[in-house]
Amino acid sequence: MPTLVIKLENVWKVYQLGKVELTALKGINLEVTPGAFVTIMGPSGSGKSTLLNMIGCLDVPTKGKVFLKGKDISQLSETQLSQLRGKTIGFVFQEFNLLPNLDALENVALPMVFQGASLEERIKKAKELLASVGLEERIYHQPAELSGGERQRVALARAFANDPEVVIADEPTGNLDSTTGKKIMEVLTDFHKREGKTIVVVTHDPNIASYSEEVVNIKDGQIIVNHREAAQVLWSK
Amino acid sequence: MEQIKEYFHIAVRSIKTRSLRSWLTILGIVIGVFLIISLLSLSEGIKQTINQQLRSLGGEMIFVMPGDISNIMAMFTSGTKLEKEDIEAIERTRGVETVLTMSYQSLVARHGDEGKTVFMSGLSWEKGIEIMEKFQGWSLKEGEWPTPGKRELVIGSQVETEVFEKPVKMGSEIIIKGRRFKVVGILNSLGSKQDDSSFYLDLSLYQDLTGEKRGTAQMAMVKVKDGSDVNKVAEDIKENLLETRKRRVGTDVADFSVITSEKMGDIAGSIMAVIQFAIVAFAGIAIIVGGIGIMNTMFTSVRERTREIGIMKAIGAKNSAVLTIFLIEAGIIGFLGGIGGTFLGTVLAKSIEMYGQVHPLFYFSASITPGLIIFGLVFSFVVGCLAGFFPARQAAKLRPVEALRRYE
């Protein structure tokens, strides 16, 4: 059996909001197998973003363990974790989260900078990636000069920059109209199918879920349904 | 190295994006470095000029003046003199080789139709020329030394053009108190405005003009015999003067200043040290204020870019990468401020130097050494980095998830 990309083991997350304790995750167990396309669904306030932060190793659980490629992240130093996260996980955010001062090419190349790739390598790869999302004409444009859909495509290209094993997308179409959103999902699905990459998407949009093979429903910090089996049904559409 | 280059790039972009604020912050450093560079170079220049003048005095000279050197105004305006007996007392002190007496006063001189109050120095040419040439650095630009007893004048280098409307030339006639004098020599610059705009004439003629009693003087310059201890001779002169006064007027209060040129140097040196200390202190305060400006800007920058920091960390930036980017940014601001400040400081110092040459109050050069420039640049860079350290560390320590969540 191949190593799980990400494994969550009885993960709890408790936020201290003044005197009030807010439990966002209540004993979550989740396994993301290599090559899977997982959608996490739930209403707002259900804890899905918190869960995504755990899966993306952006946050540490209050209790329980998170394994990234079999390694317990609580055992890693912050530097080791950044390095591993940068190499293993690509992020796509709802607000695109591009660096406003850098142009499209530089934004896509940035994750490679942190992995110590050479300038040549970075430019070549970033250009290829931008071309693959159909932005070869816009590589020297700054985010402010791009439309929402274009920005998200840049963000997608950036997520794939370090050839990660898993791409985590947080409401990737949330700020886009449905046509643009559909295109973005097509790019993402295409990457998944062509490269066999693992994709984890958080959304509350059932249309998005229809692209995936596995749907995890979360409510009040707990997984209520794991539609692994339902995948076939959804996918056949 | 590759990474540092890229971090540098990111830092520059970020400075450009906030250009107004960046420039204002840079301006803060510019002012500080500007003060340091201009004041230090000028004070260093003044120090060098003073040292140069003191060196030209020669190490073996003793100056005797009535009055107290620590109260210069009183000394020059008291009108007290060295009496004949005083001068004799100096002359018979052991170790004294030559005593050159001098007097000076402001008198009205006429050149053509124009009359001006000028500074006149009377000194005995016979004894004087050698000492002045050897120990005061006097030399003639034009003409020759006057013949003792003849109504001839030597003028300072500025008298030529600065004093009268009509230029004073070799052979020009100057009328002082109705007597005609001929200009026979023009001195090279002596390094101070007062000296360079003075008229020099034989002491006996001077005393005829001013009615000063023959044999007295306002000041004496003493050349010590080779091998004598200057300080010892100075002590002895003081003692002899005291005794002479006591015998003559029955008082043991003798108000004389007997100073060696070495001591003069010490006095000047300690004054300069105080001035330079004050300069460094004030400029230091300016730099600290500039540094706080950088810190403030960087803290604001970190707050504003919390999200960016979160993004960078999410896509794999290590703490050290974030720290480096912010440090580079602060360093660049400091360094740019250093360049601006060094440039403006140099320009100011050089303009004052040039102004001093055209309208001489006193001569001094601005001493701008490569060392000073490097100091200005490195110093401002270091101040930038130091001021940027805490904001940068704050940025580096941000947890990615918190950084991303903020301002959502």
pLDDT digits (tens), chain A, 237 positions? 567 888 999 999 998 888 888 888 999 999 888 888 888 988 888 888 888 888 888 888 999 999 988 889 888 888 888 888 888 999 998 888 899 888 999 999 999 998 888 889 999 999 999 998 888 899 999 999 999 889 999 999 999 999 998 999 988 888 888 888 888 888 888 888 888 889 999 887 777 777 788 888 888 888 887 665 454 444 444
The pairing of beta strand B256-260 with beta strand B179-187: unpaired
Is B191 found in the same domain as B156? yes
pLDDT at B44: 82
Residue B406 φ/ψ, nearest 5 degrees: -60, 145
Q: Chain A: give the shortest CA distance to residue B403, in Å.
A: 10
A123-163 confidence digits (pLDDT tens): 999 999 999 888 889 999 999 999 988 999 999 999 999 99
Neighboring chain B residues of A87 at a CB cutoff of 8 Å: 316
Residues B316, A83: C-beta atoms closer than 8 Å: yes
pLDDT for position A235: 46
| Cross-chain residue pair B17–A101, CB shorter than 8 Å | yes
- A197 part of a folded domain: yes
Q: Please tell me the predicted confidence (pLDDT) of residue B339.
A: 94
Residue B159 lies in a domain: yes
What distances in angstroms separate CA A31 from CA A4, A26, A46, A75, one per listed residue? Answer: 7, 16, 19, 19
Q: What is the mean pLDDT of residues B213-240?
A: 84
Residue B192 above 80 pLDDT?
Answer: no
Write out the residues of chain A at the interface with chain B, using a CB-CB cutoff of 8 A: 53, 56, 58-59, 78-79, 82-83, 85-87, 90-91, 93, 95, 97-102, 106, 110-111, 113-116, 118-119, 158, 161-162
> Is there a domain that residue A81 lies in?
yes
Contact B315 A114 (CB under 8 A): yes
State the burial class of residue B295 (Cβ atoms within 10 Å of its Cβ: 0-12, 13-18, 19+): buried
Provide the shortest C-alpha distance from residue A235 to chain B (in Å). Answer: 30
| B207 assigned to some structural domain | yes
The answer to whether A78 contacts B317, with C-beta atoms less than 8 Å apart, is no
Tokens at A16, concatenated:
């201290």
Q: How far is CA A64 from CA A30, A81, A105, B147, in A?
A: 12, 17, 39, 109
Q: Is residue A203 part of a domain?
A: yes
Give B370-400 pLDDT, tens digit per residue: 888 998 899 889 988 988 888 888 888 888 8
Note the pLDDT tens digit of each residue in B326-355. 999 999 999 999 999 999 999 998 888 888
Query: What's the pLDDT tens digit per position in B78-105?
Result: 567 788 888 888 888 888 888 888 888 8
| B211 lies in the same domain as B270 | no
Taking the whole predicted model, whether its pTM rises above 0.80 is answered as: no
| B33-B39-B41-B47 Cα dihedral, nearest 10 degrees | -150
Tokens of residue B167, six digits:
């230029």
Q: What is the span of the domain harbouring residue B362?
A: 2-54+265-405
B144-160 average pLDDT score: 85
| Pick from B50, B46, B24, B42: nearest CA to B348 | B42
Pairing of strands A166-170, A63-68: unpaired
Quote the crossing angle between the two packed helices A119-132 and A148-159, to the nearest 10°: 130
**What is the predicted pLDDT for the residue at B97?**
85
Which one of B10, B316, B319 has the shortest CB-CB distance to A115? B316
Chain A CB contacts of B311 below 8 Å = 93, 97-99
Asked whether the beta carbons of residue A53 and residue B16 sit closer than 8 angstroms, the reply is no
Nearest to B316 among A87, A98, A99 (CB): A87
Domain boundary among B230, B254, B278: B254
Quick one: closest CA in B to A89, which residue? B315
**Would strands B219-224 and B96-111 be described as parallel, antiparallel, or unpaired?**
antiparallel
- What is the span of the domain harbouring residue A156? 33-59+77-235
My answer on whether B187 and B279 are in the same domain is no
Q: Which residues pair with B175 in a beta bridge?
A: B110, B180
CB B56 within 8 A of CB B264: no
* B94 and B235 in a common domain: yes
Integer Cα distance of B172 and B111 in angstroms: 8
Distance CA B162, CA B139 (A): 20
Q: What percent of chain B has pLDDT over 90?
A: 6
DSSP category for residue B99: E
CB B341 within 8 A of CB B36: yes
Q: What is the pLDDT of residue A237?
A: 41
| CA gap A41, A226 in Å, rounded | 10
Give the chain A residue nearest B11 (alpha carbons): A101
Number of domains in chain A: 1
Select from B254, B279, B310 the last residue of a domain. Answer: B254
Q: What is the full DSSP assignment across B227-250?
A: T--HHHHHHHHHHHHHHHHHHHHS
Tell me if A79 and B400 make a contact (CB, 8 A cut-off): no
DSSP B362: B
- Give residue B362's pLDDT band: very low, low, confident or very high (50, 70, 90): low
Task: Give yes or no: residues B111 and B241 share one domain.
Answer: yes
Quote the CA–CA distance of A14 and A25 in Å, as a whole number: 7
pLDDT grade for B249, boundaries at 50, 70 and 90 = low
The answer to whether residues B221 and B110 belong to one domain is yes
pLDDT at residue B408, rounded to an integer: 44
Question: Searching chain B, which residue's CA lies closest to the CA of residue A164?
Answer: B315
Q: A178-195 and A148-159 are packed helices; what angle lies between their axes, rounded to 10 degrees?
A: 20
Count residue pairs from A and B with Cβ separation < 8 A: 79
pLDDT over threshold 70, residue B59? no
Q: Measure in Å the smallest separation between the Cα of B385 and chain A Cα atoms.
A: 22
Same domain, B292 and B337: yes
Q: Which residues of A touch B326 (CB under 8 A)?
A: none
Q: Chain A residues with CB inside 8 Å of B407's CB?
A: none
The closest CB to that of A91, out of B9, B314, B320, belongs to B314
Percent of chain B with pLDDT over 70: 91
Which residue among A101, A113, A161 sits closest to B3, beta carbon to beta carbon? A113
In whole angstroms, give the CA distance from residue A166 to residue A200: 7
Q: Are residues B120 and B227 in the same domain?
A: yes
Min distance B303 CA to chain A CA atoms (Å): 15
Would you tell me how many other CB atoms lie within 10 Å of the CB of residue A20? Answer: 7
State the pLDDT at residue A116: 86
Please provide the average confidence, as pLDDT, over all residues in chain B: 82
Task: For residue A12, tell me if it sits in a domain.
Answer: no
Cβ B17–A87 below 8 Å, yes or no?
no
**Is residue B123 located within the same domain as residue B36?**
no
Q: For residues A63 and A23, give the distance between their C-alpha atoms in angstroms, rounded to a whole number.
A: 11
Residue A25 within a domain: no
Buried b (16+ CB within 10 A) or exposed e, A63-92: ebebbbbebebeebeeeebbbbbbbbbbbb
Q: Is residue B239 part of a domain?
A: yes
Same domain, B206 and B294: no
Instruction: Please check whether residue A173 lies inside any domain of the structure.
Output: yes
Report chain B residues whose CB lies below 8 A from the CB of A73.
none
**Chain A residue at shortest CA distance from B308:** A99
**Dihedral angle over CA of B166, B172, B177, B179, nearest 10:** -150
The region of weakest confidence among A179-183, A225-229, B17-21, B365-369 is: A225-229
Do the domain assignments include residue B164?
yes
* Rg of the Cα atoms in chain B: 32
Cβ-defined contact of B320 to A83 (cutoff 8 Å): no
Q: What value does the mean pLDDT take over residues B309-323?
A: 89
Residue B54 sits at the vertex; the CA angle it makes with B156 and B192, to the nearest 5 degrees, is 30
Q: B89 and B46, same structural domain?
A: no
In-domain check, residue A68: no
* pLDDT confidence of residue B56: 63
DSSP category for residue A98? -
How is residue A232 written in tokens?
Answer: 């076939």
Rounded to a whole number of angstroms, the distance from the CA of A57 to the nearest CA of chain B is 9
- Report the number of distinct structural domains present in chain B: 2
- Whether residue B401 and residue A53 make contact (CB cut-off 8 A), yes or no, is yes
Please give, rounded to a whole number of angstroms, the shortest distance from the CA of B270 to a CA of chain A: 54
Same domain, B234 and B173: yes
Domain endpoint, select from B254, B274, B296: B254
Bridge-partner residues for B314, per DSSP?
Answer: none
Q: Which residues of B touch A115 (CB under 8 A)?
A: 316
Identify the pLDDT of residue A108: 94
C-beta atoms of B401 and A111 within 8 A: no
- A231 assigned to some structural domain: yes
Please give the Cα distance from B245 to B250 (Å, whole number). Answer: 7
Cα torsion B390, B391, B396, B398 to 10°: value is 110
- For position A177, which CATH number holds? 3.40.50.300
